Structure 1
Amino acid sequence: MHLKKVIRHIVVLILIINFSCNNSKELIKKDKGFTFLNHSENILDYTVSPNNAFDKTGLMFSDQGAWFAYSFPDTTSNYGGFSGPFLMTEQNGIWSSANLSQLVLKNVVWKSVKTTSYASHLEQVFKSDYLELTQQLVFSSGHTAIIKSTITNIGKETIDISMHWKNQPILAESLKFISTKNEVLIKSSKSNAIGHFIFPTGTSIKNTDTTYSTAAENISLKPNQSKEINISQTFIFPEYSWEDEKEALGTISFDSVLNTRKNEKESQISALTNNLKPKFKDSIYENVLAKTHLTLQNNWRVAAGKLKHEGLFPSYHYEWFHGFWSWDSWKHAVGLSYYNTDLAKNQMKAMFDFQSEDGFVVDCVYRDTTIENHNYRDTKPPLSVWAVVKIFKKDSDIEFVKEMYPKLKRYHNWWYNKRDHDKDGLCEYGSTDGTLIAAKWESGMDNAIRFDDSKILKNEVGAYSLDQESVDLNAYLYAEKLYLAQLAEAIQENHDMKMFKEDAEILKIRIQNQFYDPEDGWFYDTNLEGNNFIKGEGSEGWTALWANAATQEQAEAVKNRMMNAKKFFIKVPFQTMSADHPKFDPMNGYWRGPNWLDQAYFGVKGLRNYGFNSEADNATVKILEGAEGILGKGKSIRENYHPITGEGLNAQNFSWSAAHIIMLLSDS
């Protein structure tokens, strides 16, 4: 018996040692110098093998504002390259190829594949009985991705290998391939962006109009010997210099670029994590912040075409979101301010590049207006000053404030000049073309029930209002006055500072008196005369709390309704309308029930403004746990969520949802 116990202990000890060694190997694979970067490991699932040019079944990885992105092939038959790239340089996003640069090793049978993604790069490892192929992809700029392939002999004998590159074409009729020396050019009939695909010197290339391949190259590897091969893929618009980009590529190494990206992402995710509220300092929420960071990164685009500054798409994944929207931009900028104020500032400038002389800011703009025209039919709710103040608090860039202040002031005044039908100091949503649909769009809450019976009224040529005064619009304008006062003080515009503070006090009383129904304990829109509420509890009801425009007593009543489990405190709290309303229909109503995380954030922040911090904390946890795929790895952050089931709805990889998760979790 004693001998059996000894043997059993020895076996257990061996197992423990073996387990420890295996774990040590795993730890070695993680770079110990990149603690925060490791939160992004496989946080999104980029596995997809597109079967047609317009396939949107999976997610794509992008960086540095590039207008193209990549994924991992989902089968070992596609070994030796990355899916794509997915080109946002033309149409509303197409796959250039199933695998534009497949590295083929003749007669090698791969037994396993492991894919790993980080915010900094993609990596995949293929293994056969005697070979290992490691491939890493990193963006060196907003125009170029570099792919490093390392072939290693893991066997015990010297092996000879025949290798070549080939394309796996799918239907992309607009693309034409042209080879010159060790380069493949890719031109498009639908875009002025040119693809430049650089192979190692001496590579022999043959092509047709629709594809290419390279001649075979033979290499010999001794046991444990490796061969490294770098290629680059560039997609560049004519406003940038390909010659400069090519020269830069000739002076950098893959490893230095990768290390730069790792350090960059480490710093950014660290900045986000350091802003976590004490209650949320946990790896679960640190991982969530890594997901928000990567969501925004994947939607980042450099300036091109009609877009004069870099910024973020709402979602690259949805074909009609390949542009910049105004109130999306304000929200993106606030989220970005926590870790990248330069990009946040450019996101703001991108929309004000299109400001009219009278102060109007366009609703949305696009790189290529032959695909989609800018929308001048309406603007969006006034949250731009809020965004600039948030950025200024992060980096104290007074020159940015000086640049933006007169533009922000003109935009603020535009509302009173063009959207106050009865000139009573309370504004309405409206349109420039006199259409009711554009006026509803201007609210950002397109088909909310409060607009079901709205009518359009003419103010003057090119300026129309709805026949109702909206509580959220005037709450935003109240907040803007106070934020403008802060900026005016920063640049010593003391007259403006005093004026905006005085105007804000007057407006606050108007909001408290006109839009609040003491019987219901809720804020509603009203008719123009202000003597009839437009009933139906919606998320606009707590914007007065977000803006700090309510009394404490009013806030208490609104809070009680928000925390009611039959109304707003359901699985994913603080959705766009009360769950007990007969028109509540999340699956068939874009703004008639789904939970939009911007509105949920306004609700949580409104609670905090009035000291209801425990309720705000509970709601935050419930939102993040209830909304499908926010916590955990793999699934993307969605445009909105079903508030009862938690199902993610509409667009994937949605920027303002990610931005508002950052705000929900952050300390300021």
Structure 2
Amino acid sequence: MNKSIIKTLTLACLCIAGASCSMKEGTRQNTCQRYQYPCILDISVTPEHGMKRVGCFTDAGSWMGFTIPQKDKWINGFCGPFSIDNRVWFAQSAVSVNIDGAEFQPDSISYFPGEVYMSAKSEYGSMEQRMVFASANTALVNIKNNSGEEFSVSGKGWNKDITLKKSNNIITASHPNGETVQITFPQDFDVICNDSNYTATNNSKNTYVAISFYASENELVSGEQKAISLLNNPEPSIKKNNDRWEGYLSKVLRTDMKHEYNRVAVKSVVTLISNWRTHREGLLHDGVIPSHAVNYFIGFWAWDSWRFSAALARFEPELAKNNIRAMFDYQLPDGMIIDCIYTDPAENNARDSKPPLVCWAVDEILKFNKDTAFVKEMYPQLLSYYKWWFNKRDHNKNGMCEFGCTDGTLEAAGWESGMDNAIRFDNCKMLKNANDAWSFDQESVDLNAYLAYECKLLRKFADITGYEFDGPDYSDKVAGYFFNDKMGFFYDRKLPDGKFVQEAACEGYTPFWTRIASQEQMDKALVLLTDTAKFSTYIPFPTAAADNPKCSPNGYWRGPIWLDQTYQAIKGLRNYGYGELADKYTMQVFDRCEGLTGTSPIHENYGTHTGECLQAPHFSWSASHLLMLYEDFGKK
């Protein structure tokens, strides 16, 4: 590994200059790609009481996460586990390593893709710890004792609601919410426990401890023996973890990109996988949440899921498919896909849907994996959802649909657009279509461009599967209907008079991404797209034209950068022959979004004129589109 590269990437972390691809003592395999990306994210947090918003190390779909302790608040063990669903810290550190009489100081720490590492030194010598996830339930900690002294393991800062008990060499930490953590030690540890803590002692030079997390008694019963077996033979699980991560990176990384841009791609993969959650309770399939770091994003959203699956198709296709299945598990009899779903179905939101992009996601799975069986499996449900839009969201039955809701509220209709507070909806009213169906009094260009694209793909899928496409098709009318030739851009139109809503904004990028616009329309729109006062800003392609008096630099959908919209604009330029311009704008995103090539997490949105990080960190949506921007870079 190039040590000069590592030195420039340390920032808030201390990084090691190399690491073994296996956790087996003494082995070194410098070909492992994960170790070329140290400190991929800074997750150094020593948890304090009440802390619920935090980015973690988590993997394999687990519902638990860990952080690395802060240097100035050092605990000699990985912090956690943290319950991602219930936002509960079981301990500051459930597995903390010590030597009697020693005071450990941090030496080096790093978060590699799929692995965290820490070492600390004392007057007796150093201790190294690594953690990987062997499964969704269990994380495996490797402890390397370089001191020659006997060491002990105990918990630090247990949650006051936790109850501890010991059975053989297993410590069980139970929380009243029904979640349980088990810490399993090999038989050569001497383990004692009381009501407040445990102590496990050992003098091995190299050993393992398993930390398991269970959401129910059934999970615990089936998982206990698996943890014991894991400790008896850890190497196959470690190899499986390494092979999985090497597979991810091999499928994604390009050999012709500079290291900083490769880091963006790797960080995007890490972000998506860290937001993977296994099926649990009301979530009937595995899927990806928007952000594990923020409590209100612990569920699956419809158009978020379509975006995540499109990106995951490249390197984790089974998760991509299950992510789609999870949303369709709750498809309503009339074809509607509801907004979002949670572990507790009572919290699901069926007041609205979300923009239709699912056929695009299925097509990406088909493109990268040739999975015609999945297309055939999904086709009837996809077609039903497509038809639902025209049945429930076309107020005047002219073939041009509107965003809306089931309850007649402006709030839910805004949610259905995905652009909750967008400027274009400032003067909207609601129109009743049926008892369970309402529309904005406004036909939206992005919605109809998406539907035109879905229609094209459904016809393609019908040819593949042998099913019949019998849905409405207004694809050839959308571009002409929504393009304002005088203004040279695409706009929504009001009902009933058809007047253009002349608020130039990101919805106008969509026809270029879906390729329904003409070359002439793109050439005219290029005037606005390259205007530095409007869309060609410091970070390009904001959610509203920058010179609009209503534009707000921190206004959620009223001006900031959302990378899905930036991606669609850049991809649109590429679609119509402006490849060099697309590359220029891609570099502006990679170079100017705060912390993107460093150790900062990928955020929900960014400052248009500054590149500053806004809203939720560790955001899957942004990661998905960064990965696609990376993939497209340099293509004509």
Q: Is the 8 A contact 1:429 1:442 kept in 2?
A: yes
Do the aligned residues in 1 keep the contact of 2:455 with 2:475 (CA within 8 Å)? no
- Pair 1:86–1:78, CA change in 2 (3 A): same
Distance 1:387 1:579, change over 3 A: same
CA-to-aligned-CA distance 1:622-661 (integer Å, 9 cap, x gap)? 12212111122x1000000011011010000000100000
Q: Is 1:612 paired with 2:578?
A: yes
- CA RMSD between the two structures: 2.1
Who is 1:18 aligned against? none
Q: Give the structure 2 partner of residue 334 of structure 1.
A: 310
Structure 2 counterparts to residues 218-257 of structure 1, below 5 A = 219=203, 227-238=205-216, 241-252=219-230, 253-257=233-237
SS of alignment partner, residue 103 of structure 1: strand
> Which of these two proteins has the greater Rg computed from alpha carbons?
1
Amino acid in the other structure paired with 2:310: V
CA contact (8 A) 1:293 1:658 kept: yes
Which range moved further: 193-202 or 291-300? 193-202
Offset, 1:465? 0.6
- Of the structure 1 ranges 330-339 and 118-127, higher mean CA displacement relative to structure 2 is found in 118-127
Matched, 1:578 2:545: yes
1:651 aligns with one of 592, 605, 616 = 616
State the 1:89 CA deviation: 4.1
Structure 2 unaligned segments of length 5 or more: list them.
1-15, 22-27
- For residue 402 of structure 2, give the secondary structure of its aligned residue in structure 1: coil
Distance 1:100 1:114, change over 3 A: same
Tell me the equivalent position of 1:351: 327
Q: What does residue 246 of structure 2 align with? A: 266
Write out per-residue CA displacement over residues 423-456 of structure 1, whole angstroms, 9 at most, x where no aligned residue. 1111000001111110011000000011001001
Gaps of 5+ in 1: 1-24, 154-158, 220-225
Which deviates the most, 332-341 or 621-630? 621-630
- Percent of matched pairs sharing the same residue: 35
Q: Partners in 1 of 2:504 and 2:585 — Cα distance?
A: 18
CA shift, 1:240, in A, is: 5.5
Alignment of 1:505-516 (within 5 A): 506-509=474-477, 511-516=478-483
The Cα offsets for residues 14-68 of structure 1, whole Å up to 9 and x where unpaired, read as xxxxxxxxxxx94576754544323432110121101124243x53100100001
Alpha-carbon distance change, 110 to 238 in structure 1, aligned in 2, over 3 angstroms = closer
Query: Which residue pairs with 2:143 in the alignment?
Result: 149
Task: State the one-letter code of the partner of 2:308.
Answer: H
1:459 match? 433
The 1:77–1:444 alpha-carbon spacing in structure 2 relative to 1, beyond 3 Å, is: closer
Task: Indicate the residue corresponding to 2:57 in structure 1.
Answer: 61
Q: Deviations over 1:502-526 (max 9, x none)?
A: x54x4322x2332111111111100
Distance in 1 between residues matched to 2:398 and 2:146, nearest whole Å:
76
Whichever residue aligns with residue 56 of structure 2, its letter is: M
Q: What's the CA shift for 1:272?
A: 0.6
Distance 2:350 2:304 in 1: 16
Alpha carbons of 1:75 and 1:55: their partners in 2 closer, same or farther (altered >3 Å)?
Answer: farther
* Equivalent-residue separation in structure 1 for 2:313 and 2:385 (angstroms): 22
d(CA) in 1 for partners of 2:557 and 2:448?
Answer: 20
Q: TM-score, normalised by structure 1?
A: 0.87
Asked if the contact 2:55/2:293 (under 8 Å) is kept, the reply is yes
Counterpart in 2 of 1:48?
45
Structure 2 counterparts to residues 317-466 of structure 1, below 5 A: 317-369=293-345, 373-466=347-440
Once the two structures are TM-superposed, the CA of residue 248 in structure 1 deviates from its matched residue by: 2.8
- Counterpart residue number, 2:25: none
Distance in 1 between the 2:202 and 2:287 partners? 45
Return the alpha-carbon distance in structure 1 between the equivalents of residues 93 and 367 of structure 2. 45
Q: Indicate the residue corresponding to 2:154 in structure 1.
A: 166
Q: How does 1:84-123 map to 2 (within 5 A)?
A: 84-90=80-86, 93-123=87-117
* Mean CA deviation greater in 603-612 or 196-205: 196-205
Q: Which residue is 1:194 aligned to?
A: 180
Matched, 1:183 2:170: yes
* 1-structure distance, mates of 2:556, 2:522: 27
Task: Provide Cα deviations, 1:65-98, integer angstroms capped at 9, x if missing partner.
Answer: 00011111113763431111111142xx222211
Query: Where does residue 626 of structure 1 map in the other structure?
Result: 592
Alignment of 1:592-603 (within 5 A): 592-603=558-569
Q: Which amino acid in structure 2 is aligned with residue 40 of structure 1?
A: Y
What SS does the aligned partner of 1:390 have?
helix
- Tell me the amino acid that sits aligned with residue 476 of structure 2: K
* Structure 2 equivalent of residue 37 of structure 1: 34
Deviation at 1:119, TM superposition (A): 1.4
Q: Within 5 A, what are the aligned runs for 1:122-133?
A: 122-133=116-127
Deviation, 1:605, is 1.1
Q: Cα distance, 1:259 vs. partner? A: 2.6
Q: CA deviation at 1:218?
A: 6.8
Tell me which moved more, 31-40 or 657-666: 31-40
TM-score by length of 2: 0.92
Deviation at 1:260, TM superposition (A): 2.2
Shift in Å, 1:303:
0.4
- 1:223 is aligned to none
Counterpart of 1:525, as a letter, is D
SS in 2 for 1:168: strand
CA contact (8 A) 1:121 1:258 kept: no
Shift of 1:129: 3.6
Matched position secondary structure for 2:432: strand
- Letter of the aligned partner of 2:240 in structure 1? T
Q: Distance in 2 between matches of 1:623 and 1:131?
A: 45
Q: CA deviation at 1:591?
A: 0.3
Q: Aligned letter for 1:45?
A: D
Indicate conservation of the 8 Å contact 2:114/2:270, yes or no. Answer: no
User: What is the CA–CA distance in structure 1 between the aligned matches of 2:504 and 2:623, rounded to whole Å?
Assistant: 26
Mapped partners of 1:89, 1:227: distance in 2: 36
Contact 2:261 2:590 survives alignment (8 Å): no
